[in-house]
Amino acid sequence: MKLRFGLIGVGRMGKVYAHHLTSTVQDVELVAIADPAPGAAAEAAMRWGGVPLTDYRDLLKREDIQAVVIATPTHTHVEVVKAAAAAGKQIFCEKPLSLTLEGCDDAIQAVEAAGVMLQIGFNRRFDPAHVAAMEKIKAGVIGKPVMFRSSGRDPKRTSLEFARRESSGGMILDMGIHEFDTARWMMGSDVVRVSTEGGCLVYPELKSVGDIDNAVINLRYENGAIGQIDLTRNAVYGHDVRTEIIGSEGALYIAKLQYTDLLVMKPNNISHDTVPYFMERFAEAYSAELKDFVACLREGREPSATGKDARAATAIGIAATQSLDEGVPVEVNRS
Amino acid sequence: MKLRFGLIGVGRMGKVYAHHLTSTVQDVELVAIADPAPGAAAEAAMRWGGVPLTDYRDLLKREDIQAVVIATPTHTHVEVVKAAAAAGKQIFCEKPLSLTLEGCDDAIQAVEAAGVMLQIGFNRRFDPAHVAAMEKIKAGVIGKPVMFRSSGRDPKRTSLEFARRESSGGMILDMGIHEFDTARWMMGSDVVRVSTEGGCLVYPELKSVGDIDNAVINLRYENGAIGQIDLTRNAVYGHDVRTEIIGSEGALYIAKLQYTDLLVMKPNNISHDTVPYFMERFAEAYSAELKDFVACLREGREPSATGKDARAATAIGIAATQSLDEGVPVEVNRS
Amino acid sequence: MKLRFGLIGVGRMGKVYAHHLTSTVQDVELVAIADPAPGAAAEAAMRWGGVPLTDYRDLLKREDIQAVVIATPTHTHVEVVKAAAAAGKQIFCEKPLSLTLEGCDDAIQAVEAAGVMLQIGFNRRFDPAHVAAMEKIKAGVIGKPVMFRSSGRDPKRTSLEFARRESSGGMILDMGIHEFDTARWMMGSDVVRVSTEGGCLVYPELKSVGDIDNAVINLRYENGAIGQIDLTRNAVYGHDVRTEIIGSEGALYIAKLQYTDLLVMKPNNISHDTVPYFMERFAEAYSAELKDFVACLREGREPSATGKDARAATAIGIAATQSLDEGVPVEVNRS
Amino acid sequence: MKLRFGLIGVGRMGKVYAHHLTSTVQDVELVAIADPAPGAAAEAAMRWGGVPLTDYRDLLKREDIQAVVIATPTHTHVEVVKAAAAAGKQIFCEKPLSLTLEGCDDAIQAVEAAGVMLQIGFNRRFDPAHVAAMEKIKAGVIGKPVMFRSSGRDPKRTSLEFARRESSGGMILDMGIHEFDTARWMMGSDVVRVSTEGGCLVYPELKSVGDIDNAVINLRYENGAIGQIDLTRNAVYGHDVRTEIIGSEGALYIAKLQYTDLLVMKPNNISHDTVPYFMERFAEAYSAELKDFVACLREGREPSATGKDARAATAIGIAATQSLDEGVPVEVNRS
């Protein structure tokens, strides 16, 4: 029997999920789409089907909906997750769950109280290369992982409005959340301490909204391992995510510097294109994470990225931001 | 208004087209699926919707169908194309159109008489890297193209049943048809002469069905340019298609040797995976070619790969096979 | 005890050998340098030591010289080899030994009659990547080799004077000789038939001296294997040599498209440099081939590239050129 | 006129310099070799010429020597540099100049007092890829450099004897000195603050000598830029040095993961070798740095890597080691 979904929020990411729920994910049905922006839900419903709604609470009231995908603005996530949990819906929520630990805790508590499932949209856990890397780690190919390295690089800054620290959490939380989640997931250990250097070096206008454009972050793990993350908004060449795990008996390296498989060869110069942006880089992952969510529901297993994972990644981001502000290493809140 | 499709044949390639018609291609509807195999159409209709039919002639009778995708066995293509043309349907036909020039001519004539469109499923014309390469050629980046090189390599032989020359046309026609089409398309000139060396070198059992497993083919173009193709069924490492155009002022090189973006690093050894097979290599192209077919219909423009293109590629394959058999260069039938 | 060398001819390649004989090759001494060009020997002797001579016959008369490196113009090779053999010197001769089979036979006979060693400067046999590939083949890593592919590409044409067919043998013999030798060496079988397509497509001025600038060549081997070579003088992007062996259980691929290990990353474009020319590509090989020559002499073993190898490669080149001229496959003279 | 050299110390690095002084560097003469190890100088003199000496002070007394290459154990560098300066010799000294700032200052003072030149063997400044990168930076290709990233990775630990912190300075100073020098050189700004995480994670025996095997280091530059370095002794796959500069308008990336240009292709697996060790990775740089030293002497220009550069790199290493020990960011001593 088909699993019946509601989609809450049909902006940039909501559209991606609508597409996959109606095409690449098997045995699901998109029953309703809710979005308060004028015409947004109606337009989406024209394209992907389902009943268009303005208020997500109307969507949650529908008894023919078993699961929801939440792709609303970040600051509304906790409220919507809590409402969805109270309505007994299974929940897939786009990252980040919340920019505060209190928000994360609230959401986790609500979900636990309601006995529903909560999966967070950490796309790297579903990227084929990262998945393959985890299989190698589990198979012992690299021995004991001892160093984690990750680059999260965007080709341009976000809008100033989005970049405001109150809105995005600042670059470290906003962009780094993926690195922080990957850092925990792939190393199989928690991060206990971080230290950051960073600055507003290329886009001076970001200073006016309290943000930066470049940062480097050291990690110390509970098990003694170490890690390192670099973040930049001025990888003007393209979107560039690299992940590396160095172990006692080998290493793994994920990088995608070329997008289309074409080399252009001119005098003393061979060139190729780059990955435009995260949508292109993780196109397959968005389908895979929904498929996994459905499989978890059907099989009754714990989701691959839980509310607690979201909290832990957020805690690292908060500590790394504090380290930037204070110029000292900061212990990560892991309570 | 949605364009209403019928799908004829729902084997391996038919399933790919059913998937795309119901997901990645916008503004189309899959109205009916016909396949004579017991249960095939019904099973497909359960998954992708549409009315299941056994006889494609019943599908062609439906007035609510404007266009058909033909993905039946090769030897039936001409018959089905002719019937679809007679029924006034727009036609997308999987490659090859026919293994004989007479078959190609018959189909072309029927389509022209009926005034419908015929597009052939030459996937490389829709592969992002090949498309990007053509844009560079048209922009003059490499000057005048003077040499074409292409490798078509499969990781294993087909079944003996399929490999029979009467069924597949033999390896050169079967595998090479893509190279022959690409050879014409990218160089912007016709192939006038071919010469082949080949043999049954790895799978001796292919001899019993009259086939070979390795071949190299020289090309001479009408405009004086030259070309070279290699084909093998024992690229045991993976599916490997490479295309190269050398021009007077630059060159273009398309190759995809890595599939997942992961490097595994062990003592004195760095390794990665390979592309499994053509479905994975050209996954995006199958969607793109249907989208282009729909766009051609809507805009009333000539399709990117016509019946005449299919005839021309077939003619090269027939000549290359004859050259293998006779040990001499053979002129290509271009009448 | 040091092995005492004379160098005959100190043009472009002679300088390379002078450098290696006086630096990277151990336990040898450069005793004399002969070159008829005014000042050439004297200038070289200033730099690398040794007695400068104008006439190579004076060099051959010296009893303190045991071995000679011949790097004179191609058309003099046979004469000098014969004289060196008659003088009892061990001989390293730059490729090609001769552009005619008669020349090769003459030289081989003279060397055999004198009981001296003759090694030919086929640099690819000493390139680290090619050597590593041969080790893999011998270790059975790719099973039975069944297809050979090679690209020999230069970034520009030679001078018209050099390109004259009487002088260079034409592009196929001149550039292709390396491919033909590699084709035999790596496949462990003789080439019995070739067929060529080619033309003067980029540099029309080459026509006036009877030469071409692009060619593709099919190979048939004695053991049934097949091969394919492409040659171009307009790989304007850089010097590009690629060698590929496809076997029943794997394949080997040698390519060096990047020279300096630097990627330059600009908006939607990542680029790197290319190998300038053969001197840079095979820099290590020139040292290695002299070291091997010395080792062969000391150990009394057969050189890695003999006069017979030179004859066989020349025979393939002559046949491939004839095939170009006549438009038919040509059997290779292997008597 | 030839520049006359003395070589002091003919261990592993001394042999490399002896080789280049007698082969790849033009217009120099190796006059004497001094090494206190029994037979070392004599053996080296047999191979590379020159007078063998046991005591370097005898070498410094020779009036026919104008310049010395110092390749003795690190803890002797300052003493030998001072003696050489006092003797009026021009000095090329292998890195590190000294493990203490006092040592560096002593050496610098002695050299300045004597009015001789001192060049330090920071090989990366002479690696073709790093040199090409610097040219791009100077040409403005990447705009303003804002982030520096570097990996210094060895395939194995050193001997325990060498690893002792008193002897090597510990991993951060020993391995990182190259990164610290590159970090300053390529960014054109001084490092003012560092913070380190590290540990002894793979080779527990290193703890007994006070060393670690993995570290990550954040850098803050005087001009506001930031940087990041990772160091590991368990890159078991091979020697791996990567350098990356991210600028406001582009980025540069140096990496050499493949050594021999051969791909081995097996079912679902393509692999290649790796760079064995630093000697192979920087083979060309050792020749280039001596050539540059000679050119600086002849042209009377400042060397590319001075004693002050050595002091600055050492200061970063000392601060980074202190940060590891104390768990806090440490200001770099730049007095």
- Contact C273/A268, CB-based, under 8 Å? yes
Q: Which residues of B touch A261 (CB under 8 A)?
A: 128-129, 254-256
Q: With 90 as the cut, is the pLDDT of residue D172 above it?
A: yes
Q: Tell me whether C254 touches chain D (CB under 8 Å).
A: yes
In Å, how far is B170's CA from the nearest CA of chain D? Answer: 25
pLDDT value at residue C99: 95
In Å, how far is C325's CA from the nearest CA of chain B? Answer: 13
Sign of the Cα torsion D228, D193, A218, A225 reads positive
Q: Tell me whether D201 touches chain A (CB under 8 Å).
A: yes
- Contact C216/B236, CB-based, under 8 Å? no
Q: Tell me whether C218 touches chain A (CB under 8 Å).
A: no
Q: With 90 as the cut, is the pLDDT of residue B163 above it?
A: no
pLDDT value at residue B239: 98
Q: Tell me whether D255 touches chain B (CB under 8 Å).
A: no
Q: With 90 as the cut, is the pLDDT of residue D1 above it?
A: no
CA separation for the pair A93, A7 (Å, rounded): 10
Pairing of strands B3-8, B67-70: parallel
pLDDT tens, residue by residue, B185-223: 999 999 999 999 999 999 999 999 999 999 999 999 999
Q: With 90 as the cut, is the pLDDT of residue D165 above it?
A: no
Q: Tell me whether A136 touches chain D (CB under 8 Å).
A: no
pLDDT over 90, % of chain B? 96
Q: Quickly list DSSP for A200-266.
A: --S-GGGGGGT--SEEEEEEEETTS-EEEEEEES--TT--EEEEEEEESS-EEEEE---SSSEEEEE
Question: Which of D157, D242, D236 minimizes the C-alpha distance to B268?
Answer: D236
User: Helices (DSSP H) in chain D: which residue ranges?
Assistant: 12-21, 40-48, 56-61, 77-86, 101-114, 128-138, 160-163, 165-168, 170-187, 278-281, 283-299, 307-326
Q: What is the dihedral of CA C303, C313, C242, B213, to 10 degrees?
A: -110
E strand or H helix that includes residue C13: helix C12-21
CA separation for the pair D289, D295 (Å, rounded): 10
Q: Tell me whether B262 touches chain D (CB under 8 Å).
A: no
pLDDT tens, residue by residue, D106-135: 999 999 999 999 999 999 999 999 999 999
Q: Using CB atoms, pick whichever of B22, B142, B260 lies closest to residue A129.
A: B260
Residue appearing with tokens 């049954």 = B200
Query: Average pLDDT of chain A?
Result: 96
pLDDT tens, residue by residue, C58-109: 999 999 999 999 999 999 999 999 999 999 999 999 999 999 999 999 999 9
Chains contacting A (3+ CB pairs below 8 angstroms):
B, C, D
- Contact D216/A226, CB-based, under 8 Å? yes
List, as ranges, residues 57-86 from D with C-beta within 8 Å of A.
Answer: none
Q: What is the DSSP letter of C332?
A: -
Task: Give the rounded distance of the alpha carbon of C288 from its chain centre.
Answer: 13
Residue A118, number of CB atoms within 10 A of its CB: 27
Q: Tell me whether A264 touches chain B (CB under 8 Å).
A: yes
Grade residue C167 by pLDDT with cuts at 50, 70 and 90. Answer: confident
Query: Average pLDDT of chain D?
Result: 96
Which one of D30, D261, D265, D269 would you mutate to disrupt binding with C, by most C Cβ within 10 Å of its Cβ? D261
- Contact C269/A271, CB-based, under 8 Å? yes
List, as ranges, residues 20-49 from B with C-beta within 8 Å of D.
Answer: none
How many B×D Cβ pairs under 8 Å?
61
Tokens of B194: 């071919």
Q: Which residues of D touch B267 (CB under 8 A)?
A: 155, 236-238
Which one of A262, A274, A290 would you mutate to disrupt binding with B, by most B Cβ within 10 Å of its Cβ? A262
Q: With 90 as the cut, is the pLDDT of residue A163 above it?
A: no
CA separation for the pair B132, A107 (Å, rounded): 46
Chains contacting D (3+ CB pairs below 8 angstroms):
A, B, C
Q: With 90 as the cut, is the pLDDT of residue A110 above it?
A: yes
pLDDT tens, residue by residue, A50-103: 999 999 999 999 999 999 999 999 999 999 999 999 999 999 999 999 999 999
pLDDT tens, residue by residue, A185-212: 999 999 999 999 999 999 999 999 999 9
Grade residue D4 by pLDDT with cuts at 50, 70 and 90. Answer: very high
Sign of the Cα torsion B115, B121, B127, B133 reads negative
Q: Using CB atoms, pick whichever of D141, D252, D261 lies closest to residue C255.
A: D261
In Å, how far is B102's CA from the nearest CA of chain C? Answer: 28
Q: Using CB atoms, pick whichever of C199, C227, C329 lies closest to residue B226.
A: C199
Q: Tell me whether C216 touches chain B (CB under 8 Å).
A: yes
Q: Tell me whether C197 touches chain B (CB under 8 Å).
A: yes
- Contact C262/D133, CB-based, under 8 Å? yes
Q: Using CB atoms, pick whichever of C23, C253, C261 lies closest to residue D255.
A: C261
Q: Tell me whether A284 touches chain C (CB under 8 Å).
A: no
Q: Tell me whether B276 touches chain D (CB under 8 Å).
A: yes
In Å, how far is C139's CA from the nearest CA of chain A? Answer: 25
- Chain A residue with minimal CA distance to D195? A195
